[in-house]
Structure 1
């Protein structure tokens, strides 16, 4: 008997503790986090969506739960609808956001900086599958899609949901969802360059780091596409440039000035960011900025610098 429990409740408690479906329900958590991050671009929001999804599941009676043929599919459907509603309201919130909004950068779990022993398994970032659908360039394109486009595309092209099921979630016809996904694919093809080999990209990022630390403007210009863009996200909580810097030469001069001002306080580390070679800047021992790169050919075409401390939580564990 459980101490303090009423005798009449014992059978129900034993039934709950031995629930054979509990493990299956909780095993969906990783999949739900993966869905939430791709749809919202925020680990914190993805975690909130998962918590809300599980809250709705456990708000049902045991009989209602048992009547659901596929609990995993039910959880994914509920999480998708919650994300769809959040995406609709996110646009209004972005209007008051200070500067440009960039998706939260994801670390490679084996490369976390400053992570305490045993901390990895407790953070949602450790449950994100790193693949083509979470590169920063990909996530940025997803962010300019309409909510319906984003949900239809991610569910069908990333999670392989048939359009019939996508239609039930989005509230459109299967034909309309097919068009939404097709439109999303066109956006991605237009915005993204062909992916280069990972080793080559790492070499370019390494050369960029070396030139940056040396404040070698000519070398930086040589590594940057002439039409390159550098975007920063401080969210009003960290000092950064509020508008994108356009043009390789302008970026080279701006970044050389950043290196000059920060001086010996800043250390640059090569890290994997959203599955691609990136850089992490540490100031006075703490992670201050995470840099993601888009590389086309042998040139850097885009730099995303995330300085908003609220988006650097996984990088600052421990």
Structure 2
């Protein structure tokens, strides 16, 4: 696992596929995968370094969460938070997900920091991939205030467009028609709980516009 988190974002699609296959719902799978990542970052650096195959570890943990939920008879995963769970933060149908994602996108498009902060969960996280070619944090950014500051810096001087990303409502940031970031979100209740950002220019070529 590189410090740029490239592999972590690359593995997300694979893990969602695994969780969807086991649990039967991509909406549920999105939160299962988010919980899988939280467990990864809960490990100490020596513990992570001792894992010879992060992909296998992540897949095993995601599968284990699915099986635990299925064995318990849970209709969907419990809310995913770094702190105590709050009432009513279950999974959303796609329309509700899109509504929250559009609120997030609107706040990003206008650069409205208070509106952006309002749509973020208090324990939201950002995972970004610069691929070693664009500066990106070495670890996830946690918390609504920190994530708002991070996104505000990222949004400065760019055009934000709402577009499908991996089949869900997402955001593409461009400068003079060239994509500089592709953003997708995880959602629970009325909050964005995680923001996934691809900054690696090698992965953005298909997003450029004339």
Shorter-chain TM-score above 0.5? yes
Matched, 1:270 2:167: no
Q: 1:234 aligns with which of 107, 130, 145?
A: 130
What's the CA shift for 1:254? 2.5
Mind listing any 5+ residue stretches in structure 1 that lack a counterpart? 1-93, 107-130, 154-180
Whose helix proportion is higher, 1 or 2? 1
**Residues 281, 299 of structure 1: alpha-carbon distance in 2 compared, 3 angstrom cutoff:** same
User: Is 1:224 aligned to 2:128, yes or no?
Assistant: no
Give the superposition deviation at 1:133: 8.2
Contact 1:282 1:289 in 2 (8 A): yes
User: 1 CA distance for matches of 2:55 and 2:133?
Assistant: 27
Aligned pair 1:99/2:99, yes or no?
no
Q: Would the alpha carbon gap of residues 134 and 198 (structure 1) be closer, same or farther in structure 2, given more than 3 Å must change?
A: closer
Q: What value does the CA root-mean-square deviation take over the aligned residues?
A: 3.7
For 1:132, which of 6, 11, 26 is the aligned residue? 26
Q: Give the whole-Å Cα distance in 2 for the aligned partners of 1:227 and 1:283.
A: 30
- Deviation, 1:210, is 2.2
Higher strand fraction (1 or 2): 2
Q: What is the DSSP-based 3-state SS (H/G/I as helix, E as strand, rest coil) of the residue aligned with 1:103? A: helix
TM-score normalised to structure 1 length: 0.44
1:315 aligned onto 2:207: yes
SS at match of 2:10: coil
Which sections of structure 2, spanning at least 5 residues, go unmatched?
14-24, 41-53, 70-75, 81-88
SS at match of 1:232: strand
**Residue 222 to residue 283, structure 1, CA distance change in 2 (3 Å):** same
User: Cα–Cα, structure 1 residues 270 and 134, in superposed 2: closer, same or farther, change >3 Å?
Assistant: farther
* Aligned-partner Cα distance in 2 for 1:267–1:303: 18
1:296 counterpart (173, 188, 191): 188
Change (3 A) 1:134 1:291: farther
How far has the Cα of 1:309 moved from its partner? 2.3
Equivalent residue pairs, number? 169
What's the TM-score, normalizing by structure 2?
0.63
**Partners in 2 of 1:291 and 1:240 — Cα distance?**
14
Greater gyration radius: 1
Q: CA deviation at 1:103?
A: 2.1
Aligned to 1:204: 100
Cα drift, residue 140 of structure 1: 5.7
> Separation in 2 of the partners of 1:267 and 1:308?
18
